[in-house]
Amino acid sequence: EEQDPIFHPDGIEAFNPTTAGMRWTRRVPQFVAETGRAPIGSSDAHRAADVGQAFTTFEGTTPEELRTAIESRETGWEGTFYPWRSQVTMFRAQLRKNARAVRDDLGGKVRRDGSGRDLGYPGGRRRPAHFDAEGEP
């Protein structure tokens, strides 16, 4: 048996409101029961407006009480699937982002000046990346 706790999760995402999650929704409860893990709900939100589309339920209100509920397998989930239109819009945005990333990565290799990808760092796609505090509060 592997001793590293990373290989022994306390919970499993039992509900994901995306179209990808729809495929597994009917089979997850049995899988969660078979593995003995705590069921967890997750919004899988890529936009602030989508946070809370799905969530984990438990008795309590604090992070410590949530952790205790997960460890004692006393959690549940609630949520609804995202509307198809919002899923298509999100998928389109992800395709555009990935296409830009491939273009920037290849361009950076050809120019030999780095990836050029926006990796979430200050400065975004500008090279060299730098933080411009102008206009910051």
Q: Using one digit for the tens of pLDDT, what is the confidence trace for 3-24? A: 887 888 999 999 888 877 787 7
Q: Are residues 53 and 78 in the same domain?
A: yes
Q: Are residues 114 and 78 in the same domain?
A: no
Q: Are residues 90 and 44 in the same domain?
A: no
Average pLDDT over residues 13-39: 87
Structural domains of the chain, count: 2
Residue 87, classed as helix, strand or coil, is: helix
Q: Are residues 32 and 78 in the same domain?
A: yes
Range(s) of the domain holding residue 90: 83-137
User: Within 10 Å of residue 110's Cβ, how many Cβ atoms?
Assistant: 9
> Which helix (H) or strand (E) is 105 found in, with range?
helix 84-111
Q: Are residues 77 and 94 in the same domain?
A: no
Q: Are residues 13 and 71 in the same domain?
A: yes
Average pLDDT over residues 52-62: 95
Q: Are residues 52 and 90 in the same domain?
A: no
